[in-house]
Amino acid sequence: MLRLDRLCRHCIDVWNAVDERVLCLEKVPYEVQRKNGERIYQLLAQKEFYKEDPSALLEYVKKDRIWNLQVLSEEDGKEFCRITKQFIDEARAFDDQLDDAAIFQALRNVWIILMLGLLMRGTFYYHDAVFSYSMLYPYTDNFLDDPTVSDEEKREFNKRLRRRLKGHAYEQPKEQEEKIDCLIGKIESVFHREEYPLVYESLLCIQKGQEDSLKQGAWREDLLYISVQKGGSSVLADGYLLDGKLHEEEQRFCMEYGFSLQLADDLQDMKEDREHDHYTLFCYEPCESLVKRLLVFMQDMMKRQRICTQKEICGIVEKGCLFLVLGVVILHQEEFTKGFLHEVYAAFPLHASQIAKILDADKPTLGDLMNLFETGTAVINK
CATH code at position 329: 1.10.600.10
Q: Which residue range forms the structural domain that includes residue 316?
A: 4-373
Judged against a pLDDT cut of 90, whether residue 291 lies above it is answered with yes
Question: What's the confidence (pLDDT) of residue 369?
Answer: 45
> Do the domain assignments include residue 380?
no
Q: At what angle do helices 197-213 and 128-144 cross, to 10 degrees?
A: 10
Does some domain include residue 285?
yes
For 74-95, write each residue's pLDDT tens digit.
788 778 878 988 998 899 999 9
In a domain, 36, yes or no: yes
Model's pTM, two decimal places? 0.86
Indicate whether 14 belongs to any domain.
Answer: yes
pLDDT at 114: 92
- pLDDT at residue 297 tops 90: yes
**Residue of 361 and 226 predicted with greater confidence:** 226
CA distances from 36 to 60, 80, 81, 346, 356 (A): 11, 21, 21, 14, 14
Average pLDDT of the segment spanning 306-320: 82
Indicate whether 234 belongs to any domain.
yes
> What average pLDDT does this structure show over 256-280?
87
- The overall longest dimension of the chain from CA atoms, in Å, is 61
**Banded pLDDT at 364 (limits 50, 70, 90):** very low
pLDDT at 271: 83
DSSP string of 104-168, one letter each residue: HHHHHHHHHHHHHHHHHHSS---SHHHHHHHHHHHHHHHHHT-TTS-HHHHHHHHHHHHHHHTTP
- Cβ proximity of 94 and 135 under 8 Å: yes
Give the model's pLDDT for residue 43: 63
Q: Residue 359 — very low, low, confident or very high, per pLDDT cuts 50/70/90? A: low
The reply to whether 382 falls in a domain is no
pLDDT tens-place string over residues 23-52: 999 998 989 888 877 777 666 665 544 444
- Judge contact between 357 and 373, C-beta under 8 A: no
Q: 11 lies in a domain?
A: yes
Give how many domains the chain has, as a whole number: 1
